[in-house]
Amino acid sequence: MKHILTTSILSLVLAAASVFAEEKAATPPGGAASPAPAPSKFKPIVDKLDLKDGDTVVFLGDSITHQCLYTQYLEDFYYTRYPKLHIHFHNAGVGGDRAKDALTRFDEDVAAYKPKYVSILLGMNDGSYTNYQQPIFDTYTTDMTTLLDKIAAIGATAIPMTPTMFDARAAQIAGEKPTPAKTLEDLRVRDTFYNGVLALYGSWLSGVAEERGLGFVDMWSPLNDITTEQRKKNPEFTMIPGGVHPAAAGQTVMAVAVIEDMAAKVPVSQIMIAEKDGKLTPTANGGKITDFQAGDTTVSFTFAAERLPWVLPADAAEGYKLTHAGHHYSNEKVTVRGLKPGKYNLKIDDQIVGTYTDGQFAFGVELEENQKTPEYQQALKVAELNEQRNKLAYHPLRDQYAQLKGKRRDLAKIAESDPQYQAKKAEFEQWYTGQKAKVAELHAQAQEFENQIYAANQPKPRKYEVSPAPTVAAK
């Protein structure tokens, strides 16, 4: 959680500083001077992504990142919240990855993109789906430490994330059968201990992030907390079918976790119409009001917003609702005070988007989830374009890297002294040349979608009108 000073506390701090300054100034010449404070040995912690035009963010991870869902939803947030910034996003998730696998592909899949920030979502596979074992943990901490060092060495800032939740109940509901490689006892140990092991891994990572002054995202707690709360109503509730891979609802919770821990809290827009000096006067946050007119019963104006609401594809609706994401992270409010008692229509661009009482308008009408508004529909188009970008370009691109990992492992199984090694290596190099060409082609496709997104996400001036709703005569 982020902590802020209230105005009153801040005033006390400033007053104390002023008194200290006066006392210091009053110290007579030659008097005992206070020793200079020792520099802190602790680093300040990164508390938000400070993104500028042209910056790149890399999402490094395993299959949960390879799914291209929480990353997509985060992209949607930044596309709509900061439409004037051309921010580039690169998904670097590969199914089955551990920290050591991320190290293997680091130069080509992370460093090559010259990122400003690199988020890291690893650990689910690193713990080996068993109880806590010190050698396994030691391997994880060594490889993760090396990964953090490599990110720092390229001038980027790492944003470590806890492993996500392992949902043992969901795994049991899925009915996984034991195999010779995974016995019934193995499954029992996994289902009993593994979620706790992931919590421990996340706790260690949190301490390392704090020591290094890095940003940090807690993925584990929100998924567990919401699951526990929902199971009070439905004992079979899950956001992670099968236990490992969050579905769209869980991935939305993950995106919200990143926003909560690492994004600046900026509302979409706040329009206020209220009486000032005896007349209705408009004010706005997140945009500009022009052409304001106020009659006896009607208010109208043009509003040029700076941002769009955060809208996600339909699959994400459950997670969006569970986290109250609209109200908390995409607030778009219109408040009109001083209306006569009655019901009023709200029109945007001459289309009725809702009917509200004078009391509702006085309290404030939230529009971020109103599908009738042109702003919502514009943001939905952005989300749909980005969904295509991820499905048609980035997910296939990640599949290419998954194949690369398999090819490298196959080659590594053959000793260089083996007569077949040179032939196998030549075969690999030929495939690798083709793979790089395919990756470049998919990148070009993703770039074309990005161009369309940045053309579609520019807010437009909209005409607003609040007027009395026609009275329906009783039959």
Q: What is the pLDDT of residues 61-108, one digit of tens each?
A: 999 999 999 999 999 999 999 999 999 999 999 999 999 999 999 999
Residue 15 buriedness (CB in 10 A; 0-12 / 13-18 / 19+): exposed
pLDDT level of residue 7 (50, 70, 90 thresholds): very low
Q: Please give the pLDDT value at position 475.
A: 56
- Is pLDDT at 114 greater than 70 in this prediction? yes
- Is pLDDT at 10 greater than 60 in this prediction? no
Digit-coded pLDDT (tens) for 167-182: 999 999 999 899 998 9
pLDDT top residue among 26 and 367: 367
Domain(s) labelled CATH 3.40.50.1110 in the chain stretch across 42-266
Options 1.10.3720.10, 3.90.850.10, 3.30.70.360, 3.40.50.1110; CATH for 42-266 is: 3.40.50.1110
Q: Please give the pLDDT value at position 474.
A: 54
Distance of CA 308 to the CA centre of its chain: 16
Model's pTM, two decimal places?
Answer: 0.89
Averaged pLDDT for residues 27-36: 56
Instruction: Using alpha carbons, list the distances in angstroms from residue 287 to 77, 374, 446.
Output: 18, 16, 30
Nearest-angstrom CA–CA distance, 237 and 231 = 6
Paired strand residues for 88 = 56
Digit-coded pLDDT (tens) for 95-105: 999 999 999 99
